[in-house]
């Protein structure tokens, strides 16, 4: 009998068996469809633990927004006051552009 592997979540562990809820089984579709399997603990040679992935999307978006706002304020202020034009309704000072 060859090596078999299961991917799943731990359901129970006692002195003789390891029970897992199967997410994936590479060797037996019928056992996969049962969704849960009890493995003799003596036959288990390796167990890998995964804690999942943590997303930092909101932190990245917040940093990007702050950097973008700061860059925009510096660029707006560096352009200085708008020159008066003929009948231009929207003229801004450097401070107003930085906001």
Sequence length of the chain is 99
How crowded is residue 69: how many other Cβ atoms within 10 Å of its Cβ? Answer: 10
Per-residue tokens: 83:
């020159």
For residue 33, pLDDT over 60 is answered with: no
pLDDT, averaged across the chain = 77
Q: By the 8 A CB rule, do 46 and 40 touch? A: no
The mean per-residue pLDDT over the stretch 3-9 comes to: 76
Which of the pair, 6 or 12, is modelled with greater confidence?
12
Q: Is 31 helix (H, G, I), strand (E, B) or coil?
A: helix
Q: What is the mean pLDDT of residues 61-81?
A: 86
């Amino acid at each position: 009998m060859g090596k078999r592997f299961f991917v799943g979540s731990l359901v129970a562990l006692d002195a003789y068996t390891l029970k897992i809820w199967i997410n994936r089984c590479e060797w037996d579709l019928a056992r996969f469809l049962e969704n849960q399997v009890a493995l003799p603990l003596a036959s288990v040679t390796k167990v890998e633990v995964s804690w999942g992935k943590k997303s930092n999307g909101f932190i990245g978006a917040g940093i990007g927004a702050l950097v973008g706002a700061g860059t925009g304020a510096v660029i707006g202020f560096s352009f200085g006051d708008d020159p008066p034009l003929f009948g231009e309704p929207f003229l801004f000072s450097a401070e107003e552009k930085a906001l």
